[in-house]
A and B are shown apart, each in its own frame.
Chain A
Amino acid sequence: KNEVEQSPQNLTAQEGEFITINCSYSVGISALHWLQQHPGGGIVSLFMLSSGKKKHGRLIATINIQEKHSSLHITASHPRDSAVYICAVTGNQFYFGTGTSLTVIP
């Protein structure tokens, strides 16, 4: 069993749709990270959070420590949002989810 589970694995949306990606984890953590990986491998750190909610542009990340659950929301999705979104947690080491592949269709 993976320490970090993401859903859905794949997601296709129409431009403008509101998107939610979910992450559940089973280990004790100090922080949770949302990462964006584009084709070719480059990874960008979107958020690091340990409680509550963070917002950056059209991206919103929330975490519920009691439920060991986090969500990444994208409002007014755009084709340039197409990427793999990875949830990772830091406990005694880094644990990564397998990613959610998002395709936004114009």
Chain B
Amino acid sequence: ETGVTQSPTHLIKTRGQQVTLRCSSQSGHNTVSWYQQALGQGPQFIFQYYREEENGRGNFPPRFSGLQFPNYSSELNVNALELDDSALYLCASSLRVSGGTTSTDTQYFGPGTRLTVL
């Protein structure tokens, strides 16, 4: 039990729709990262938020966007859904101390949201 929760656990959408996934970080954590894991693949880094600002982004198009709130919970928004967006979406929270970097973060993963796009 990592203390990181995600909602919903499962979601079915159709092509072209928009989706919002939510992540509640472990208490006290100020950094959240989002990952996409296609079936049979390793996770792919989408982006990271630190203190409500985007702090790094992987190779994902702009229709993938995010927010981090003052309470450090987070949302992942995907617009204009495509069939290939079907995947498990994972968030992970961590505590970055002042002056720290990604390398000093231990990630605590949520259980994921499984998105199916039809």
Q: Is B33 an interface residue (CB 8 A)?
A: yes
Residue-by-residue, is A35-73 near B (CB-CB < 8 Å gives 1, otherwise 0)? 100001111110010100000000000000000000000
Encode contact with A along B80-116: 1 for CB under 8 Å, 0 otherwise.
0000000010101000000001111111110110100
Interface residues of A in 63-91 (CB under 8 A from B): 86, 88, 90
Shortest distance between the CB of A65 and any CB in chain B (Å): 13
A-B contact count (CB 8 A): 63
B102 touches A45 (CB 8 A): no
Interface centre among B37, B43, B112, B114 (most CB of A within 10 A): B43
Q: 21 A-B residue contacts at CB 8 Å?
A: A4-B42, A31-B104, A35-B109, A41-B111, A41-B112, A43-B43, A43-B112, A44-B109, A48-B106, A86-B42, A88-B42, A88-B43, A90-B105, A93-B56, A94-B45, A94-B58, A94-B102, A96-B35, A96-B42, A98-B40, A98-B41
The yes or no answer to A30 lying at the interface (CB within 8 A) is: yes
- Give how many B residues have a beta carbon under 8 Å from the other chain's beta carbons: 28
Assess the B109–A43 pair: CB atoms within 8 A.
yes
Interface pair B58/A50, CB less than 8 Å apart: no
State whether the Cβ of B2 lies closer than 8 Å to any Cβ in chain A.
Answer: yes
Complex Cα–Cα for A69 and B113 (A): 32
Q: A residues within 8 A CB of B65? A: none
